[in-house]
Amino acid sequence: MLLASALETELTAPNGTRWTQPLGLFIDNEFVTIPGEGDITTVNPYTEEDICSVSAAGPAGVDRAVAAARRALSDPSWKQLSGTERGHLMTRLAALVEDNLDTLAAIETLDNGKPLSVSRSWDVPHFSEVLRYYAGFADKNPGQVVDVGPSKMAYTLKQPVGVCAQIIPWNYPLAMAAWKLGPALCCGNTVVLKLAEQTPLSMLYVARLIREAGFPPGVVNVINGSGAVAGAALASHDDVNKVAFTGSTATGKQVMRMAAGNLKAITLETGGKSPLVVFDDADMDQAVRWAHEGVMANQGQVCTATSRLLVQDGVYDDFVARFKAYTARTSVLGDPFDEATYQGPQVSDAQRRRVQSYIASARDSGVAVFQPEAGAVPWRGFFVPPTVFADVDASSSVFREEIFGPCATVSRFGSEEEALAVCNASRYGLAGAVFTRDLARAHRMARDMEAGMVWVNSSNDSDVRVPFGGVKESGLGRELGEEGLRGYYNVKAVHVNLTG
Ligand code: ADP
């Protein structure tokens, strides 16, 4: 065992915020390390310097976390709680996260590179919002009595699925954890949450608050670890009943294969290449503003990014000129701790290189590449300037593949039918947006786009009360809203004989 002092370290953010950072695996309400399983260093994407090293779970750590979750599932301290009492614990956690807003926002920005203004105004408050929303459902999710005639009675019970492995990505560490913890805890499950190795710090801090909120040991276990080791061990673990995954489509497919071993329940939220369609009659200011936000926010690291802009012939040139000018004005690159910054660095050097390789391949194949901020990229940090690929052909890789960076393709179309055909000619089906003043056309497009979510005259709205998820290779199942509960309970049917 490492010394207890290695389980935490003192950190200070550039804005002066100081905190004690947990570094271990959070299992059974304790931070622990497993001898021989090593650690992973997390890097500040703005300074490119190491922040600290965090314990990484290997197979033994995963086994221990799953065993803790299994014990907790049937322990009376959790199993015997009413939904109302579970809801109270969740509400308490939401309040504790709110009390720690400054610290958690600083951690999220330090570890992920997203602007502090965004971490403060969205990521941290959203965690509490999601927990509260699902706390409200905890005692409002009853089964049914089914009328089967006078001599029998039948009813259903909604029961926890069991031990849930939850694997989250690095683009929204707190938010993605909340989307998974909220419905799981609401329904009485226990959890092993695997953090993304690039951004483990905020949820390890929250783990301490989970204990403080009064959750019994083992109900929520939080582990860092590499995807190939800890993620794979969880997805294939025989004592896990469900796996919920958010990440790339390629990894999602692997997770699905691994989950097949013991027929785990599964929800997947994977990649996208979502279209945003601008018709001639659209409000051009709105279209430009949302097109920018829809692909440039969060450094373009958003699965629902509307990264394929399809613009009708009549307004194409005007749109492209305005979109470039708006991007040049709005996408201010800089220190994520600086209030003026709109776009921070990409999360890691690997991500930066990946995005840059798409830009290079587009250039090589003759695509027009526009980078308004190219002259203002900070001298350090994993930055990629906002990039607009104009007049892009539907066969090019930047049009078809998810880049996961601040990169938009713009292509022209003639008719509504043509636009719809291009929208749907994708293996992905996460989201889509349509800009038009024609009400009937807006609803036709919303109905016919092959997507889990459609925005009309907007992009990337997300609301805890509204289901989120994709079709085709963008995912299986839904998160958020009442729909988000479905993946976290089993329905048991009980038949009662009433004859004497
Ligand atoms: P990215 O390539 O953007 O990091 P991934 O889909 O690989 O996206 O990662 C999302 C999450 O999935 C992370 O927590 C990562 O550790 C995990 N992961 C990666 N590979 C695997 C795998 N083979 N099995 C299970 N989880 C994995």
Q: Which residues line ligand 1 (CB under 6 A)?
A: 167-169, 194, 196-197, 227-228, 231-232, 235, 247-248, 251, 254-255
What is the Å distance from ligand 1's center to 249 Cα?
A: 10
pLDDT at position 312 over 60: yes
Strands 220-223 and 453-456: unpaired
Tokens 């083992």 -> residue: 218
| Same domain, residue pair 187 and 159 | yes
CA-nearest residue, atom 20 of ligand 1: 227
Give the closest residue to 70 by CA, choosing from 236, 229, 219: 219
- Res 356: pLDDT: 98
Instruction: Measure the CA–CA gap between 93 and 105, rounded to whole angstroms.
Output: 16
What is the Å distance from ligand 1's center to 57 Cα?
A: 14
| Same domain, residue pair 439 and 483 | no
The number of distinct structural domains making up the chain is 2
- Say if 254 falls within a structural domain: yes
CA-nearest residue, atom 17 of ligand 1: 227
| Same domain, residue pair 263 and 286 | no
- Say if 499 falls within a structural domain: no
| Same domain, residue pair 408 and 423 | yes
Contact (CB, 8 A) for 195 and 322: no
- Say if 498 falls within a structural domain: no
| Same domain, residue pair 253 and 301 | no
pTM, two decimals, is 0.97
| Same domain, residue pair 257 and 308 | no
State mean pLDDT over 103-111: 98
- Predicted confidence band of residue 2 (pLDDT cuts 50, 70, 90): very low
Alpha carbon 12 to chain centroid distance? Answer: 26
Contact (CB, 8 A) for 490 and 158: yes
Tokens of 4: 């207890």
The number of the ligand 1 atom at minimal distance from the alpha carbon of 235 is 25
CA-nearest residue, atom 25 of ligand 1: 231
pLDDT at position 181 over 50: yes
| Same domain, residue pair 432 and 312 | yes
The number of the ligand 1 atom at minimal distance from the alpha carbon of 198 is 4
- Say if 470 falls within a structural domain: no
- Say if 472 falls within a structural domain: no
- Res 373: pLDDT: 63
Contact (CB, 8 A) for 200 and 109: no
Give the closest residue to 432 by CA, choosing from 455, 413, 416: 455
Residue 124 makes CB contacts below 8 A (sequence gap 6+) with 97, 98, 100, 101, 104, 105, 108, 174
Q: CATH number, domain at 223? A: 3.40.605.10
User: What radius of gyration, in Å, describes the C-alpha atoms of the chain?
Assistant: 23
Give the closest residue to 387 by CA, choosing from 441, 333, 442, 463: 333
- Say if 110 falls within a structural domain: yes
What is the Å distance from ligand 1's center to 254 Cα?
A: 10
- Res 448: pLDDT: 98
pLDDT at position 1 over 70: no
Convert the pLDDT of each residue in 187-244 to its tens digit. Answer: 999 999 999 999 999 999 999 999 999 999 999 999 999 999 999 999 999 999 999 9
Instruction: Measure the CA–CA gap between 396 and 124, rounded to whole angstroms.
Output: 38
- Say if 427 falls within a structural domain: yes
Q: Tell me, yes or no, if 85 is annotated catalytic.
A: no
| Same domain, residue pair 254 and 293 | no
| Same domain, residue pair 261 and 391 | no
Give the closest residue to 184 by CA, choosing from 244, 230, 264, 270: 244
CA-nearest residue, atom 14 of ligand 1: 196
| Same domain, residue pair 308 and 219 | no
- Say if 500 falls within a structural domain: no
Which residue range forms the structural domain that includes residue 78?
A: 4-270+477-492
| Same domain, residue pair 247 and 285 | no
Alpha carbon 321 to chain centroid distance? Answer: 32
- Res 3: pLDDT: 44
| Same domain, residue pair 228 and 201 | yes
Q: Which of 129, 197, 269, 473 is catalytic?
A: 269
